[in-house]
Amino acid sequence: MTLRPVFIDHTSERGGAELALRRMLSAPADWHPALVCPPARETDAYAGLPSTVAVERRGPAQRSRVDSGSTAIGAARLAFGMLRSLIAVVRSPSVRRADVLVANTSRSSVYAAVAGLITRKPVVVHIRDLVQPEAIGGLATTLLRRIVLPRAAGIVANSRASLATVTPFLSGRCLTEVIPSPSGLQRRSAPEIRDRVTRVGLVARIDPWKGQDLLLRAFVEAFPVSTIQLVFFGAAAFGTDDYLARLRALAKEIGAEDRVTFAGHVDDVTDAIDQLDVCVQCSVRPEPLGQNVLQYLAAGKPTIVADEGGPVEWVRDNENGLVFRARDASSLASCLRRLAEEHELRERLAVAALSTPGLSTDAEVTARMGSFLTRVVEAA
Encode pLDDT of 286-344 as tens digits. 999 878 999 999 999 999 999 999 999 999 999 999 999 999 999 999 999 999 999 99
Which alpha helices (H) appear in the chain, and where do they start and end? 16-26, 65-68, 72-90, 93-97, 106-119, 133-136, 138-143, 160-164, 212-222, 241-253, 269-274, 291-298, 329-341, 343-354, 362-379
- Between CA 342 and CA 197 the distance in angstroms is 10
pLDDT at 109 over 60: yes
Percent of the chain with pLDDT over 90: 83
Bridge partners for 37 per DSSP: 57
- Between CA 210 and CA 181 the distance in angstroms is 18
Q: How far is CA 1 from the centre of its chain?
A: 32
Report the predicted TM-score, pTM, of the whole model to 2 decimal places: 0.89
Q: How far is CA 188 from the centre of its chain?
A: 23
Q: Could you tell me what percentage of the chain is helix, strand and coil, using 3-state DSSP and rounding each to the nearest 5? A: 45, 15, 40
Residue 35: phi and psi, rounded to 5, are: -130, 130
Looking at every residue in the chain, the average pLDDT score rounds to 93
Look at 132 and 63; give whichever has higher pLDDT.
132
Q: CATH 3.40.50.2000 spans which residues of the chain?
A: 5-182+360-379, 199-354
Q: How far is CA 223 from the centre of its chain?
A: 30
Contact 278, 301 (CB under 8 A): yes
* Nearest to 223, CA basis, from 264, 261, 260: 260
Helix, strand or coil, per DSSP, at residue 331: helix
The domain 199-354 belongs to what CATH superfamily? Glycogen Phosphorylase B; (3.40.50.2000)
Q: Which amino acid is at 152?
A: A
* Domain 5-182+360-379, CATH: 3.40.50.2000
Residue 81 is predicted with a pLDDT of 83
